[in-house]
Structures are given as structure tokens and as C-alpha cells.
Amino acid sequence: MRILGIDPGLATLGYGVIEAQSGRMKLVTAGAIITKPDQKTPDRLVSIRRDMRDLLLAYKPDEIVFEELFFAKNITTGMNVSAARGVALCTCAEYTDQLFEYTPMQIKQAVVGYGKADKHQVQQMVKMILGLEKVISPDDAADAVAAAITHANTGYSKEQFRMK
């Protein structure tokens, strides 16, 4: 099974694709869709949609996993990230109905074993789980891969994480 993980963002949208079969996982690709702060927000959203379509066509995931959004402080930033998530979600929904989501705490718990793990711990565990030589960069890409790993390990209980 090929799983695309997505860590939504307007400036940096992390993505990671893994192959999961019989309890084994292999990294296919990881990276980020980056938009420029000097662009107008609508142009940034169009860029995200175009790049998401390209990812879907290139890697043909069977299932797609989003990290849920969490905002503690800045509502303006939250609105823009929500718009980027919406564009990515809409693009993915046009591609498949196999859409799932996990909270940041669920992903950290699944990958690190501690729901309040920091970014460095997540990166190191993703590196170990996939047998990589170096950590995935940027952080957003590592988070997206961690979401994909979480989904791969969820097994039969994945239906409870299906987007409604």
C-alpha cells in the first residue's frame, strides 16, 4: 500500500510517501511545497493545488493521511493554514475518498511513544523506523512521513480515523 502523509501549511506544506506491506515500510519520497510570503494568498493556494495534483499523479497513493491542525495562539496564521489545508484536502478528495486524519499527539504517541515529543525526537524515530541514513528535512516533511507511518501501523482500526 502506498500512503501519502500531509502536514498542512501555507508557507510550507510537508509531504511524505511511504510503501507499507506486511509490517515493512519504505520511504518513497518526502519534501515540501513551499510558497513565497510575497505572493498573494490566492496565488499561494493555487500553487499548492497545482503541486498537490502533481504529487498525486506522480506517486499515485492508495490512501492519504492528514495531520490535524492545532492552533494555540495566532488566529490569522490559523486561518491561512486552514485555507491551505482546505485546498490540499479538496485536491485529494477529487483523487480518492481514502482520506484519514490523526492529531499531532496521536502521531507523536505512535511514532515516538510519547504524545508530547518534540520535533527532533519525531525526526529521529522516523529515521530509525525507515532505516534512513539521515533525518528527513524540513520538519514539515518529517511530520508528514510520521503521519503516514502512524496510518500504516493503525491496521484494521484505521476506519475510526477516516475523515467524515
State the burial class of residue 71 (Cβ atoms within 10 Å of its Cβ: 0-12, 13-18, 19+): exposed
Cβ-contact 66, 35 below 8 angstroms: no
Instruction: Tell me the H-state helices in 13-73.
Output: 41-59
Whose grid coordinates read 519520497?
29
List of residues 6+ apart from 134 with CB closer than 8 A:
127
List of residues 6+ apart from 15 with CB closer than 8 A:
4, 5, 6, 7, 29, 30, 31, 32, 33, 55, 141, 144
Active-site residues, by number, are 7, 67, 140
**Strand pairing category for 99-102 and 12-21:** unpaired
Per the structure block, which three cell numbers stand in for 63?
Answer: 490512501
